[in-house]
Amino acid sequence: MPRQRVIVSLGDAKLPEAGKSLIASAVERRIYGGGDFFDPSLSTEASAWADRIVQLASRSHAAKSVPQTTVDGVILDSIETTDVVELGPELVALKAWEELRFAPMLEALGMNPSAISTAQFLVSNRLIEPLSEGALIDWSHRTALPELLDIRLTKSAKDRLYRTSDDFMAHRKDIEFALRQRERDLFSLSRSGILYDVTNSYFEGFCKSNPKAKHGKNEQHCNDCHQIGVGIAFDEHGFPLADGRTINIRKPSQADDEKKRVSQMLVIDWKSTFPTRKTEIPA
């Protein structure tokens, strides 16, 4: 292949003698895609000639065979992408899973490696793009998690996802307790205070089949109706301590077994958290 090739003929065009080499360099850079549109080293006349030559060259059949811009031997303009999947948020979720030591926790609860990988996929999805188990199958084709976790999810895998969710619910108390302990150690939480919020729903009728529904005062002034209170408790750092269960912290002098039960559930030190004041947290 010749080292030089005629791309376009300029005839007897009178280019400025002093700027020929600069014009030639500018034209080469623009054709090969490596130059700036505005070249400060060119005079107004030289820049006009460079623009004209590049324009003529773009119409030339010979110019079309000029190699494209390459980086390390790769022609950038010829790169195509297929089956692109998301990776960034997944790396954050995997790091959070690792720091919370989820895998050893689930292994101690009797889950096998395959179930743990599926659980990691489910938890990561809740952090990135919460979806139902049915929609997770389609989402698995848009994320790098299946490849990273070495799992394969097909339409028939929906039952496996449901089983894993059931395993989570079966070990809910143990998982929440272990997570509260890990959060306390990981972030050096003192947990010297508790914040909580409570809401309620009331029901018309006797609610004989709902043992959780009780009479009580509510914002709707329907105190004659059965109601269910739903709440969640946080520490002063915003980490959840408990939710959806009855917590009655009446006063520091209450029975020792009650204080021990609440302290273990919330992973707090009773004396430092409630030194003298009275606190009540219905949830």
pLDDT value of residue 73: 64
Task: Indicate if the pLDDT at residue 248 is higher than 50.
Answer: no
Task: Indicate if the pLDDT at residue 146 is higher than 50.
Answer: yes
In a domain, 281, yes or no: no
**Domain end position, chosen among 48, 76, 104:** 76
What 3-state class would DSSP assign to 200?
Answer: strand
Query: Who has greater pLDDT, 199 or 252?
Result: 199
Question: What's the pLDDT band for 208 if we cut at 50, 70, 90?
Answer: confident
DSSP output for 204-247: SS--TT-TT-EE---TTS-TTSEEEEEEEEEETTS-EEEESS--
pLDDT value of residue 92: 96
pLDDT value of residue 263: 64
Task: Indicate if the pLDDT at residue 48 is higher than 90.
Answer: no
Q: Mean pLDDT across the stretch 263-271?
A: 61
In a domain, 278, yes or no: no
**Domain end position, chosen among 110, 143, 173:** 173
Do 197 and 263 sit in the same domain of this protein? yes
Which structure tokens are listed for 131? Answer: 């979806």
Task: Indicate if the pLDDT at residue 247 is higher than 60.
Answer: no
Which residue's structure tokens are 């003698």? 17
When the pLDDT of each residue in the chain is averaged and rounded to a whole number, the result is: 78
pLDDT more than 70, % of the chain: 74
Q: Residue 276 carries which DSSP code?
A: S
Q: Residue 64 carries which DSSP code?
A: G
In a domain, 93, yes or no: yes
Residue 166's nearest CA partner among 129, 122, 130, 231 is 122
Task: Indicate if the pLDDT at residue 277 is higher than 60.
Answer: no
pLDDT value of residue 260: 67
Tens-digit pLDDT profile for residues 173-194: 899 889 888 988 888 887 766 7
In a domain, 283, yes or no: no
**Domain end position, chosen among 31, 56, 76:** 76
Residue 94's nearest CA partner among 49, 125, 138, 130 is 125
Question: What's the pLDDT band for 201 if we cut at 50, 70, 90?
Answer: confident
pLDDT value of residue 99: 95
In a domain, 57, yes or no: yes
Domain containing 34: what range? 17-76
Do 128 and 153 sit in the same domain of this protein? yes
In a domain, 28, yes or no: yes
Which residue's structure tokens are 């143990």? 174
Which structure tokens are listed for 267? Answer: 């992973």
Do 164 and 95 sit in the same domain of this protein? yes
Question: What's the pLDDT band for 104 if we cut at 50, 70, 90?
Answer: very high
In a domain, 11, yes or no: no
In a domain, 123, yes or no: yes
Query: Who has greater pLDDT, 176 or 60?
Result: 176
CA–CA gap between residue 106 and residue 115 (Å, rounded): 9
Q: How many structural domains are present in the chain?
A: 3
CA–CA gap between residue 20 and residue 11 (Å, rounded): 15
Do 269 and 201 sit in the same domain of this protein? yes
Do 220 and 148 sit in the same domain of this protein? no
Do 121 and 154 sit in the same domain of this protein? yes
Burial code (b: 16+ CB inside 10 Å, e: under 16) for 269-280 equals ebeebbeeeeee
Task: Indicate if the pLDDT at residue 40 is higher than 80.
Answer: no
Question: What's the pLDDT band for 16 if we cut at 50, 70, 90?
Answer: confident
